[in-house]
Amino acid sequence: MVRAVRVAGPGREFLLDDEPVDLYLAEGRIVDIAPTGALPARGRVLDGDGTWAVPGLWDNHVHTVQWALAAEREPLGAVTSAAEAARTMSSAGLLPDGRRVGSGFRDAFWGDVPSLPLLDDATGAVPTYLINADVHSVWLNSAALARECFRSPDGMLREEDAFEISRRLNAVDPEHGDRAVRRAGEQAATRGITGLVDFDMAWNADAWPRRVADGFAAHRVEFAVYPFDLERAIAAGLRTGQAHDYTDAPSEGRGLVHTGSLKVISDGSLGTRTAACFHAYPGDPANFGVLTVPPEELTALMTTATGAGLAVAVHAIGDRALTSALDAFTTTGAVGSIEHAQLVRHADLPRFRRLGLIASVQPQHALDDRDLVARQWPAQTAVAYPLASLRDAGAQLRFGSDAPVADLDPWQAISAAVTRTDDAREPWHPEERLSVDEAIEASVRSAIRPGEPADLVLCGADPRTAGGSELRSMPVVATLLAGRITHLS
């Protein structure tokens, strides 16, 4: 029983007033809701003491192992030049395998240009890797290029080559990686996370059941497969929504892991100037970005996945990539989501509803990229980082972080969607703001009403009246997953 909480999220509409209620939980679900004190206490009691309850929060776009390992890598988000990044890496700590790895740089804002001599002079013979914040490019010194058997005149690798480097860096010893994921999951629970969608570029059908068998029980997981593993997934009989458990897994971990979607990365990114757009990038009239998966190949992949019972999640950042993805959904009848949708033509907005697609978006990206948009997309006529426009067109919104690109904190995403600013500046495109209720709805998969999963977050302040900074720092008093406490402050 959770005693004396006020409901502030979905489910509130079924209550007569804002007075505290008691939630009765059994077998992982909410079985009854009653005014506080109206019914006798049963079982273990968690006293909510007037806190505000919302359903368990989800992050619908996470690169889990990369996010978990980020704590071991040199943070580069604050560096302001290539020279500073190189100097920073010269004194970065060595990983156990003798490499130096940094992450989070944003060279699109730098006044100088990354080069191989610059990084070599600073880092010498130690293999050194710098991962862009958007993960679509990496900067390596000569020692790292030689170790990985790659060549690049400036040390920069982009798109598929960059992804391959990230895959190799993430392929740590499974015991090491699983410990990092477990720590990260426990930290996520302190922010109210009860579920995430894992887009790691790895074979996750074995990794997650192994983690659960070893005691992982922090949150629910939907894991993706990638085109390079599609035939393997089909041969293994994977289907979207399928549960994965070891029979000897601890009881609290059972039922947490499910197969998600086929993930297809159909274009690049804004920061790398490879997002596929209908208008060219400034100063480069031949650069319209890159469709990394041509339309006919995308259609073929989606047809195969749909026939095998897999939904499809298509990464589409630029408006040209998004139109191509929507066309492929139309042709194939596939179900699933568009991931990111950072630039959307007005004519494409209503297609989300007609096709029944989820718009899986990262509200914090709009604030992190607002200055970059002004520089890289000044001539674009499509809607940049839409939220209200997608909502008004009838799209189903789901929020995520793209961690480690942004912090895995659902309250950060909620605040970004509600305020469209995270500094002293005026809201960026305030017409795209959402209400708190709409932002919370995009962050949950359930409601507080009988029969729903007992995934709950008890908040120390009322989200519905909180300002932007209050939302970002929302105190999470307790997190419950299927009625089991995963965090208690």
State which of 170, 205, 230 marks the end of a domain. 170
Contact 436, 414 (CB under 8 A): yes
- Domain assignment present for 161: yes
List the structure tokens of 389: 């426009």
The percentage of residues in the chain with a pLDDT greater than 90, rounded to a whole number, is 96
What is the pLDDT confidence band of residue 246, given thresholds at 50, 70 and 90? confident
pLDDT at 140: 98
CATH number of the structural domain spanning residue 283: 3.20.20.140
CATH number of the structural domain spanning residue 25: 2.30.40.10
Tens-place pLDDT, residues 179-223 = 999 999 999 999 999 999 999 999 999 999 999 999 999 999 999
- Domain assignment present for 376: yes
Res 108 pLDDT > 80: yes
pTM summary value? 0.96
Same domain, 276 and 243: no
Q: What average pLDDT does this structure show over 261-289?
A: 97
Q: What does the mean pLDDT of the chain come to?
A: 96
Res 250 pLDDT > 90: no
Res 287 pLDDT > 90: yes
State which of 152, 170, 188 marks the end of a domain. 170
What is the pLDDT confidence band of residue 478, given thresholds at 50, 70 and 90? very high
**Mode of pairing for the β-strands spanning 74-75 and 100-105:** parallel
Tens-place pLDDT, residues 5-16 = 999 999 999 998
- Which of 405, 322, 370 has the alpha carbon at shortest distance from 105? 405
Which residues, 6 or more positions from 16, have their beta carbon under 8 angstroms from its beta carbon? none
**E strand residue ranges, 106-256:** 128-132, 137-140, 156-158, 193-198, 220-225
Q: CA Rg, the chain, in Å?
A: 23
CA dist 42 and 309 (Å) reads: 42
Query: 3-state class of 233 per DSSP?
Result: helix
pLDDT at 445: 98
State which of 148, 170, 192 marks the end of a domain. 170
List the structure tokens of 232: 């393997």
CATH number of the structural domain spanning residue 113: 3.10.310.70
Tens-place pLDDT, residues 426-450 = 999 999 999 999 999 999 999 999 9
Strand arrangement of the beta sheet that strand 156-158 belongs to: 74-75, 100-105, 128-132, 137-140, 156-158
pLDDT at 95: 94
- Domain assignment present for 456: yes
Contact 331, 351 (CB under 8 A): no
Res 245 pLDDT > 90: no
Tens-place pLDDT, residues 28-81 = 999 999 999 998 998 999 999 999 999 999 999 999 999 999 999 999 999 999
Q: How many other C-beta atoms lie within 10 A of the C-beta of residue 368? A: 18
Res 407 pLDDT > 80: yes
pLDDT at 306: 98
Res 254 pLDDT > 90: no
Res 247 pLDDT > 80: no
Same domain, 272 and 382: yes
Domain range for residue 371?
266-445
Same domain, 367 and 402: yes
What is the pLDDT confidence band of residue 349, given thresholds at 50, 70 and 90? very high
pLDDT at 238: 98
CA dist 68 and 179 (Å) reads: 9
Same domain, 284 and 407: yes
- Domain assignment present for 454: yes
What DSSP state is assigned to residue 430? G
Distance set, CA 418 to CA 21, 304, 404, 463, 472 (Å): 27, 39, 22, 11, 11
pLDDT at 249: 76
Beta bridge partners of 315: 265, 339
Annotate 50-82 with DSSP letters as a single string. T-EEEEPEEEEEE-HHHHHHGGGSEE-TT--SH
- Which of 63, 9, 1, 56 has the alpha carbon at shortest distance from 34? 1
Distance set, CA 186 to CA 47, 120, 406, 444 (Å): 22, 38, 18, 18
- Which of 144, 148, 180, 178 has the alpha carbon at shortest distance from 164? 148
Q: What average pLDDT does this structure show over 364-384?
A: 95
